[in-house]
Chains A and B, each alone.
Chain A
Amino acid sequence: MKNEMTHLKRSKVALKGDKPDKVPVFSRDLTFPLDVVDYTTPEVCKGGAGGTFDAEKSAEAVIKSQEEIGHDVVLGSVWDLGLASDVYGGETKFPEYGIPRVDEAAFSDNLERVEDVDPINFREDGRYPGVLESYEIVSEEIGDEVGIAVNIQGPVTEACLMRGTEKLLMDMMERPDLAKELIDLATTNIKNFIEECFEAGANLTTFLAASNDGTEVLTPQFMREFSLPKIKEIVEFSHDLGYPVVFHPHGVFTEPEHHELVDKSISTGIDGFQFAEDNDYEFAAEKWGEDVCILGGVSIKDAILPGPVSKIENEVKKRLKDCAKDGGYIAMAACSLHRDTPVENVRAMTEATHKYGEYPINL
């Protein structure tokens, strides 16, 4: 086809707020690729030498998933939420065909310990060396054509994983200074990880997976006080490296009482905002589409998990109509994709986006 852009180019253009040849898809498939290659979860996340992350199997899963689904942006590795906590002595469980989860958060019994620990050395510590190696392989194999994003938790989200959410929320109320120390440590780690990943071949953007940095877990005041200043710090850091940042806090931000939080998020300098489940995307595009790239759209709970394909196509078309006409839109599900998500439904989201999302869009 004439004038067809590469996946990478298409994604870059959309992130800048412009119109590519067609709307790109970023499926942010965290453990979903494991189903595509049919590896068990522990086999990849801790099945490498010495119980580490298996770089080759991770990269193979990411690449095969991209081939199978055809999305424009991948992550450099399969991803689980226990990586940082594990480095500090936490314990993560890896169900055979399930999603890894933090079983014992590293700082769950003793937050004071945060004063005595060092930032993570990503080339040496825990399971991270395998993760970075996976980024390298993916970059080498498909990095010329496909967008590779750095996926990392937002600052409060990462601190929650290291401490336990309920406990960190109590800390914020009862000893905010110590809570901030943990969030500072998380922020330092996030920045260093971002730098390592871009060195390892990520080529597109930083993605802040920030489920607990938004109003689903924090009060607006906590979001302003504990999260947004750190988001700003991370955005400046990523921009200095030459890469944009997409922010994905959970919460219903299209409700009037939360608009101000989106405005404040945008003023940290973020380049994209992925709205989570239950947001009004039409409204979001109308209100903020000029200022940031809008990402997200297809409900996981109502469409991608239950199907059928026709329902997914309809959601895609609706989002394209509401959000994509003037460019600056990347199609995604409303959150990340994990194991046990029907492959044909994810493929349907991608195919429908590419089919109906060709510019100019006439829907």
Chain B
Amino acid sequence: MEVSKKIKETVIEGEKKDYGDLIDKAKDEGLSATDIVDIMAEAMDIVGDKFDKGDFYLPQVITSANAFNGILEIIEPDLREDISGSGKGKVVIGVVEGDVHKIGKNLVSTLLDAAGFSVVDLGDDVKSDEFINTAKEEEADIIGLSTMMTTTMSEVEEVVDRVEEESLNEQTKTIIGGGPCSQEYANEIGADGYAKNAQKAVKEVSEILEV
């Protein structure tokens, strides 16, 4: 089988194994680390689609995410070389207070990292104070806010409001994502961006920062 197909399949099937051989083969065939990330992102898109349609269940999403992260770990050093101009910008990201759904945020965080952004991942259930303080300390360019529940959407709004109140908004932009969020909601609360999935999140962050 063609090696790119094999990578895609490994992620979709969430195969657990030593990924070193596979990646060596991919490099032999001339694939770069960024090519591999692109292939994996495509695979993850398919996984998300299958999950939405009910063909895949949560355990399968988790094993796919694990395979994704496993491969990513191996190619990360190359990735940094590939994506010249790391230092594309600094992103502070987390799931808002009250919400522990972190799988989606983890993907966004991983892909941003892979794309050469420097990512400070605050984890899940993060207080608005922590977002704001970290953004100040790190002089973040972007705060990424994730939530999967309607009941915690107000936390997203709170952080966005505080960015403005504390006059951080010249230096720090906001991007939001997760199930109940939408472009309309982003507009309504005054967030600078929204993305439906991790790949689009990378695009959106790049656009906001013009990198």
Contacts and interface: CB of A to CB of B under 8 A. Distances in A.
Interface stretch (B27-35, B56-64, B195-203): B56-64
Contacts of B54: 252, 255, 257
Contact of B60 (A95, A103, A219, A340): A219
B62 A340 contact: no
Nearest to B57: A219
B98 A218 contact: no
Given A257-B54, A338-B151, A219 B98 contact: no
Interface in B71-128: 97-98, 100, 103, 125
Contacts of B97: 95
A340 B151 CA distance: 8
B133 interface: no
A215 B57 contact: yes
Contact of A222 (B59, B66, B103, B151): B59
A95 to B, nearest CB: 7
Contact of B58 (A98, A103, A218): A218
A91 to B, nearest CB: 12
Contacts of B62: 166, 169-170
A309 interface: no
Contacts, number: 42
A171 to B, nearest CB: 11
A266 interface: no
A185 interface: no
Instruction: Indicate the member of B54, B57, B60, B100 with the most A CB atoms within 10 Å.
Output: B57
Interface residues of B, number: 15
Instruction: Indicate the member of A173, A215, A257, A340 with the most B CB atoms within 10 Å.
Output: A173
B65 to A, nearest CB: 9
Contacts of B150: 301, 305
Contacts of B151: 99, 305, 338, 340
A87 interface: no
A101 B59 contact: no
Contacts of A178: none
B98 A98 contact: yes
A13 interface: no
A103 B127 CA distance: 13
A218 B103 contact: no
Interface in A158-177: 166, 169-170, 172-173
A287 B24 CA distance: 54
B98 A169 contact: no
Interface in A100-148: 101, 103
Contact of B63 (A103, A173, A252): A173
Contact of A101 (B60, B103, B125): B125
A169 B59 contact: yes
Contacts of B63: 173
A217 interface: yes
27 contacts: A93-B125, A95-B97, A95-B98, A98-B98, A99-B151, A101-B98, A101-B125, A166-B62, A169-B58, A169-B59, A170-B66, A173-B63, A215-B57, A216-B58, A217-B58, A218-B57, A218-B59, A219-B57, A219-B59, A219-B60, A220-B57, A222-B57, A252-B54, A301-B150, A305-B150, A305-B151, A338-B151
Interface of B: 54, 57-60, 62-63, 66, 97-98, 100, 103, 125, 150-151
